[in-house]
Amino acid sequence: LHCTRPLCLGRRRLSSDAHMRVRTPFRCSPHPCEYEIAFVSDVEGDLDYFNRWVAGSRCVAYTGSDEAALTLTHARAYFVYGGDVPDHGRGSEQLLRLLVGLKRAFPRRVALLVGNRDLNKLRLTSECAPSDLARPHWSIPAPHWDPSAPTLSQHLEQVAAARGGGATAASCDCAAERLRWMYENTLGCPATFEARRAELAALRSVGSATGDNGGGGGGGGGGGGGGG
């Protein structure tokens, strides 16, 4: 295993020339067979960054000018995504769809690893389920790992105070506000809710994406192959 180019580590991501060539000898042939492996990680919803990476890749390319699907460029190309698909940028859902589509097209030559930002979104499948949303807001505690974080009730009280007009914590309690509270105070990604709202609005070609009860935006997020 050796690198065809140096692996330059940026602040959080491997540079766009992170390709490796693997020489694997086969018993049936005296000559080695070469494979190229493209690797990128921690894109975190930054679709512009990912597009620049694809433009410089020898293994991964878009199938058309609309950048709606990815492909591997040759029969010996492999691709590994190192984790952390969503959060900070405004392209989380689009990136998820691109990566899952590539995996489905080349199931044996594409590996999608999960990072902490992908794994922690598994909470949404339970905490945004109807049974959990039915729990009284005052019964949900603050995250035990952050003593400075507000409880859900405190968050809703702040929302009600900002809205005015007789709004209360109970009247502001909805799936969107619970999701906003989770993103901002328990998942370590305070900008994700608004980034997802903007992305969904752009994908749906509407002025804005709003949540239930007139309260906030839709901010689903997913890891490991699905967006909310």
List, for residues 141-177, the tens digit of each pLDDT value: 999 999 999 999 999 999 999 999 999 999 999 999 9
pLDDT at position 228, please? 37
The proportion of the chain whose per-residue pLDDT surpasses 90, expressed as a percent, equals 62
pLDDT at position 14, please? 45
DSSP assigned state of 83: S
Residue 136, both tokens? 């009284």
Alpha-carbon gap, residue 68 to 70, rounded angstroms: 7
Residue 211 scores a pLDDT above 80: no
Binned at pLDDT 50, 70 and 90, residue 218 comes out as: very low
Residue length, the chain? 228
| Contact indicator for 189, 181 with CB cutoff of 8 Å | no
Among 17-21, 104-108, 127-131, the range of highest mean pLDDT: 104-108
User: If you average pLDDT over residues 41-53, what whole number do you get?
Assistant: 94
pLDDT at position 210, please? 57
Summary mean pLDDT of the chain = 81
Element of type H or E holding 163: helix 152-163
Residue 226 scores a pLDDT above 60: no
pLDDT at position 206, please? 63
Alpha-carbon gap, residue 181 to 149, rounded angstroms: 10
User: If you average pLDDT over residues 24-42, what whole number do you get?
Assistant: 68
SS3 116: helix
Alpha-carbon gap, residue 55 to 48, rounded angstroms: 11
pLDDT at position 33, please? 59
Alpha-carbon gap, residue 100 to 106, rounded angstroms: 10
pLDDT at position 32, please? 55
179 closest CA partner among 221, 145, 140, 143: 221
pTM higher than the cut 0.85: no
DSSP assigned state of 11: S
79 closest CA partner among 109, 116, 49: 109
Q: Which amino acid is at 187?
A: L
Q: Residues near 144 by Cβ (< 8 Å), separated by ≥ 6?
A: none
